[in-house]
Amino acid sequence: RSPLLDRQKLQELSERISKGVEIKFAPLNIPPHRRLQTTAVLLWALLPLLCLVSFLLLMSVPITWPIIIPYLIWVQFDSAPNHGGRPKKWARGAKIWNYFAQYYPCSIVQEAQLPPTRPYLFGYHPHGIIGMGAFATFGTDATRFSEYFPGITPHLLTLESNFKVPFYRDILMLHGVASVSKAACANILSKGPGTAIAIVVGGAAESLSAHPGTADLTLKKRYGFIKIAIKQGAGLVPVFSFGENDVGSNGSGTGNDKTSMLYKLQRKFQKKFGFTLPLFYGRGLFNYNYGLMPFRHPIVVVVGQHIEVKQHPDPPHEMVEEYQRLYIDELMRRIWEKYKDVYAKHRTKELTLVE
């Protein structure tokens, strides 16, 4: 072996390492609207913590106890998370969410009209690290959902544990966000025509597969949302979010690396508690390549054609499997194939059903 070749390899490795740790700082003359966009995303990310800290501070002041204690008692009996929250038009249309959506930016592509003559169940894919596109599309009106689908009231569903955080729970419900429990799904859809729920189908398990350039979906064994749609007679609407996996990368490795120690720890945590800690990396507040802020990458949410569902109070498994097949066909063979070369030009692999 030539010593010269060894020296060349060492030099190349040194150059790669030095490039890897190079921080690309943002310029000081950033336009004000971009600063506002970053602030909106930061506030959304910190909102649970800010609410919890505010609650603890109020609890430390005895003069507020006559308000806080009744609030805590009321929360124990509040059933709004299981009935669609308390959506307010002014909250969903707040200007902060316009900046939030413009940060990436996030937009909608409408494949077909959805007449408000029946309830709908939107299945959102992929989960991504946190589901930024899901919140922008279904939790706010920043992407003009109400203009694309007039007469339809969407409810983004999330883990019930989010409604245990004081104040944060109330902010979520002002945006129509509700619990993803079976009871909540049934309660909301039973309100009739024009009501819709949006479920991020892959859940916490899929978030562990979130890496730029990939689209690994946890869908093969997900029958629960199909059953709900059949029982409630809700139209099934596949939704694919191009760019959701590109705004950050899970820290468990490259691609769907199930051998890494971090992935295994996250998976164990997810199985035990029902959710996983979003350990990821992105950009920083003042730099472009290191930090916990999501990258500025376009998120294009393609809302597919709805699948007509025949209502059945107790659907047989064969019926559920057939509707799942139709759903996957619409998602993979039409939406993905039609738009992958437009919105996923720099993908490193094709859409894959991992489990």
- Crossing angle of helices 224-232/317-328, nearest 10°? 110
Going from the C-alpha of 228 to that of each of 54, 107, 232, the distances in angstroms are 37, 28, 6
Is 47 within a domain? Answer: yes
- At residue 171, the 3 state secondary structure works out as helix
Reading the block at residue 57, the tokens are 């501070």
Is 11 within a domain? Answer: no
Reading the block at residue 59, the tokens are 């609890």
Q: Return mean pLDDT, the chain.
A: 87
**What is the extent of the structural domain holding 139?**
28-353
The string of pLDDT tens digits covering residues 160-204 is 999 999 999 999 999 999 999 999 999 999 999 999 999 999 887
Whether the CB-CB separation of 215 and 340 falls below 8 Å is answered with no
Residue 233 DSSP one-character state: T
Going from the C-alpha of 131 to that of each of 61, 93, 139, 189, the distances in angstroms are 36, 19, 11, 22
The string of pLDDT tens digits covering residues 128-152 is 888 899 999 999 999 999 999 999 9
Q: Is the pLDDT of residue 10 over 60?
A: no
The DSSP-derived string for 22-76 is: ---BPPS---HHHHHHHHHHHHHHHHHHHHHHHHHHHHTSGGGHHHHHHHHHHHH
Reading the block at residue 345, the tokens are 């030009």
Is 19 within a domain? Answer: no
Is 10 within a domain? Answer: no
CATH value at residue 62: 3.40.1130
Whether the CB-CB separation of 118 and 310 falls below 8 Å is answered with no
Q: Is the pLDDT of residue 326 over 80?
A: yes
Distance separating alpha carbons of residues 243 and 298, to the nearest angstrom: 6
Is 330 within a domain? Answer: yes
- Look at strands 299-303 and 235-242 and give their pairing: antiparallel
Which carries the bigger pLDDT value, residue 276 or residue 181? 181
Is 160 within a domain? Answer: yes
Q: What is the pLDDT of residue 253?
A: 47
Half-sphere CA count of 44, side-chain side, radius 13 A: 26
Average pLDDT for 259-270: 56
What's the number of domains the chain is made of? Answer: 1
Average pLDDT for 74-96: 96
- H helix or E strand, kind and range, residue 270: helix 261-273
| pTM (2 d.p.) | 0.86
Reading the block at residue 25, the tokens are 């700082």
Is 2 within a domain? Answer: no
Is 67 within a domain? Answer: yes
> How sure is the predictor about 263, in pLDDT bands with cuts at 50, 70 and 90?
low
Dihedral sign (CA 321, 327, 330, 331): negative
Reference 201, options 176, 237, 249; nearest CA is: 237
